[in-house]
Amino acid sequence: MSETDAPLLAVEGLTTHYVSARGTRVTRAVEDVSFTLGDGETLGIVGESGSGKTTLALSLLRLLPPAARTIAGAIRFEGENLLTKSEAELRHIRGKRMAMILQDPMASLNPLFTIGDQVGEPLRVHEGVSRRGAWERARELLGAVRISAPDARVRNYPHELSGGMRQRIVGAIAISCGPRLLIADEPTTSLDVTIQAQYLSLLRELQRAQGLALIFITHNLGIVARMCDKVAVMYGGRIVESGPVRRIFGAPAHPYTRALIESIPKLGDSNGRLTAIDGQPPDPAALPGGCAFHPRCPARLERCAVDRPHDTAVGDEHRTACWLHG
Amino acid sequence: MNASRAAVLAFPGRLASFRREGWPMVPITILAVLALLAIFADVIAPHDPQVGLLGERFRPPAWQQGGSTAHLLGTDHVGRDVLSRLIFGARVSMVVGFTAVIFAGVVGTVLGILAGYLGGWVDQVIMRVTDAWLALPALTFAIFLAAIVGPSEMNIVIILGLVYWTRYARVVRGEVLSLKERDYVRLAIVAGCSKRTIMRRHILPNVVNSAIVLATLMLGVVIVTEAALSFLGVGVPPPKPAWGLMLADGKKGLMAGYWWLTVLPGVCIMLMVLSANLIGDWLRVKLDPQLRQL
């Protein structure tokens, strides 16, 4: 696609705030976030509820609710800054080169249209394919997402299908125009475990077949370990640690990442108790000063409450924001 | 109007079964008969509805003593044939009722979708106008408008449309507000659809159900309002045979025992409104793909 070696997606210093109606309360949902993603790579974004994962995803697509403002940074997608694009220009990018899968497959499909119509919709919008042609392509796409009897399914309505099938169909819609980047916001949360596993391997397969870059937003570290090449751990709106998945799981640098990994329940653990992180996730409207994690951090230093740690390299492509490494 | 809905709910067995399976034959038949009467009124009606013979005043229906087969449903206070007037009255009610409901429905639905989906100042302007409009009592407002523009069928349609569009706007906007937060609308935005495409493909089809159900209910309201306006003398101008007008003319004779002058047009109004509501109920089920299979 690009003539240089520029990555598919480069996010630099992205900052998105929610501002209350009178402008008095500012919630720093995403603060100074930077990362890059190359063709065909998978980035996992993990963090607790309220850490800014979803706001980050919506910022990338410029789909923020009215109260939210992206006030700084740049999103370079295929070399172009999305933050300076008009709504009309964005429409040509969304769906065609960038697609999204949401959490709830029940709510992601319009109950009034057949599967064929909905899978074909992006094709009709972007490529001007006729209704008949779109149905034809929809059949192929349903086959690509492993739905049996696609000829019959295109004629079904969403309520006639199971949750797992619907989520596959949402996947089929997402890949219908052959996007370069797919953002998946907790796509498996509402599926049961066996279906989850199937769906994840399907996503993997589609990714390989289409050379798709994937941003996978989740709070499930197990899925990250299985799916992703790179991980970014978010806390209080910032990326506190990022790096290749092996490094993050093998040698976590940030105390928060370490605590997250330790709190994964393990089979056959003789201890029998779950390790939890002390305290509550911070209120994003009132983040603690210094390092946002310091009130809960087992390894905090005195300066952690005062100065915010800088992003430092601790290994090959492995960065963290923590004074232990500063 | 509400009573007729309650009646349907009160007899679940039989009525429910003909509502669910296939077509609601009874109301469709009634409306079809009324429609045919309206269309072919000139051919079917035995007499001129607007000209009477004073010598034939207050003839009772044919089956009562003093009635004759020349006037099957009797004659009114100026000797006009009641049956002929009812048949021509169907034309007035049908034309006025349907066009007014469609007019109000289109205006209200479009404004409701724009207000709900676009939000912001568009929403503010449309909804404040709607609120102010709804604050006016419908019938008084209609009488006021009718007094200004003068009575004619065309004016009645416009007046009823102007009075009742706000109901659609309110209902539709509420639906749109909940629809636009659905994931499939967000995914449509992600898929690159324009606002117009989303409103047309994802919002409109999902509110059309509510609008149609509301329209069938409004059909009753509109017909009754038209009758009321005619009854009050600001509706369809006499001697045109509107059912409301016939009621008004006949009320003086009610105490004197000339029951057919009021009961018969009343029954016609009731049948039409009831049928419209029943069909509306059936349509609501029929148009919903999830209920369609039940």
Coil, strand, or helix at residue A74? Answer: strand
Listed by number, the residues of chain B in 36-95 with a beta carbon closer than 8 Å to a beta carbon of chain A are none
What pLDDT score was predicted for residue A233? 93
User: Do B190 and A181 meet the contact criterion of CB atoms below 8 Å apart?
Assistant: no
pLDDT tens-digit series, residues A100-159: 888 777 788 888 888 998 898 888 888 888 888 888 889 988 988 888 888 888 899 988
ipTM over 0.95: no
What pLDDT score was predicted for residue A284? 79
Say if B197 is an interface residue toward chain A (CB within 8 Å): yes
Residue B262 has pLDDT above 70, yes or no: yes
List beta partners, residue A215: A43, A183
Amino acid sitting at position A87: E
CATH class of A9-97+179-321: alpha beta
Cβ-defined contacts of A206-210 (< 8 Å, 24+): A206/A144, A206/A145, A206/A171, A206/A175, A207/A40, A207/A42, A207/A182, A208/A40, A209/A144, A210/A175, A210/A178
Q: Are strands A181-185 and A98-101 parallel, antiparallel or unpaired?
A: parallel
- Tell me if B201 and A111 make a contact (CB, 8 A cut-off): no
What pLDDT score was predicted for residue B104? 93
What residue in B sits closest to A160 (Cα-Cα)? B290
What pLDDT score was predicted for residue B110? 95
Domain boundaries, chain A: 9-97+179-321
**Distance in Å, alpha carbon of A288 to nearest chain B alpha carbon:** 32
pLDDT tens-digit series, residues A174-213: 888 888 999 998 888 777 888 888 888 888 888 888 888 9
User: Do A245 and A228 meet the contact criterion of CB atoms below 8 Å apart?
Assistant: yes
Residue B126 has pLDDT above 90, yes or no: yes
Say if A67 is an interface residue toward chain B (CB within 8 Å): no
Name the residue facing B191 among A66, A95, A159 (closest C-beta): A95
Q: What letters, b where the CB count within 10 A reaches 16 and e where it falls short, cover B101-117? A: bebbbebbbbbbbbbbb
Residue B291 has pLDDT above 70, yes or no: no
Give DSSP secondary structure letters for A12-68.
Answer: EEEEEEEE-TTS--EEEEEEEEEEEE-TT-EEEEE--TTSSHHHHHHHHHT---TTE
The full set of domains in chain B, from first to last, is 31-287 (1.10.3720.10)
Q: How far apart are CA A42 and CA A54, in angstroms?
A: 17
**Distance in Å, alpha carbon of A232 to nearest chain B alpha carbon:** 23
What residue in B sits closest to A123 (Cα-Cα)? B191
Name the residue facing A157 among B187, B201, B289 (closest C-beta): B289
- Tell me if B184 and A107 make a contact (CB, 8 A cut-off): yes
